[in-house]
Amino acid sequence: MSADNYAQCPQCVKRYTRDKDAALAKADQVYALAGDCPSWTEACDRAAALTEPKETLRENWEILTDVHGKFTVDYSCCCNACGFAFEYKHTEQVPL
């Protein structure tokens, strides 16, 4: 099995979304209390500085049917940034 694809990690995307929402809520809170001021601008800048996750999820897979009629799907992934991992394997006999 080899690395067939790199994608965005669902765990990293979830963390990014949570952090971005919290930063925007903080900026809204600062604006509600103080209006358009330097601290509001700083809060907006902090929210804007959060960057969307890169494609750090390495995906590996293999799909095959061998000469004996055994069908196999083998998938695994692991994130280079946060360590999230998932594996799935299924095998069944193909009716011959």
Please give the residue that has the higher pLDDT: either 1 or 37.
37
Arithmetic mean of pLDDT, 13-39: 90
Q: 37-88 pLDDT, tens per residue?
A: 888 888 889 889 999 999 999 999 999 999 999 999 999 999 999 999 999 9
pLDDT at residue 36, rounded to an integer: 79
Does the pTM exceed 0.75?
Answer: yes
Torsion over CA: 55, 57, 58, 64 (sign) = negative
**How far is Cα of residue 91 from the mean position of the Cα atoms in its chain?**
27
